[in-house]
Amino acid sequence: IGVGLVGFGLFFILFGMLLYFDSVLLAFGNILFLSGLVFIIGFRRTFTFFFQRPKLKGTSFFLGGVLIVLMRWPFLGMLLEAYGFITLFR
C-alpha cells in the first residue's frame, strides 16, 4: 500500500508540474507521498527522521512548502519543498 501511495503521490506531483503548477494536483500528490512514506517505514521512524536536530532546517522548509502548496501558492511552495528536500537528503 505504501509503495503505491508514494508512486501515485509522485505521479500527481509530476502531473501537477506539467499542468503549470496546478495547486490541487500538487497538494494531493504531497498528501499521498507523505502518507505513503508513513506506510512504508512507519509513523515513529518517519517522525524521528524528519525531526532530528541536524535535519530540522530541511524539515521546516519541506513541510512549510507543503503548507504553502495547500494554501494555493504552488510555485513558491514547490521551491520551498525542493530546497527542503535537498537539505534533508544531503
Under a CB-based contact definition with an 8 Å cutoff, are residues 34 and 1 in contact?
no
Reported for 41-46, long-range contacts at CB under 8 A and 24+ positions apart, including other chains, are 41/2
For residue 1, what is the DSSP state? -
Question: Could you read off the pLDDT tens digit of each residue along the chain, which spans 90 residues?
Answer: 999 999 999 999 999 999 999 999 999 999 999 999 999 999 999 999 999 999 999 999 999 999 999 999 999 999 999 999 999 988
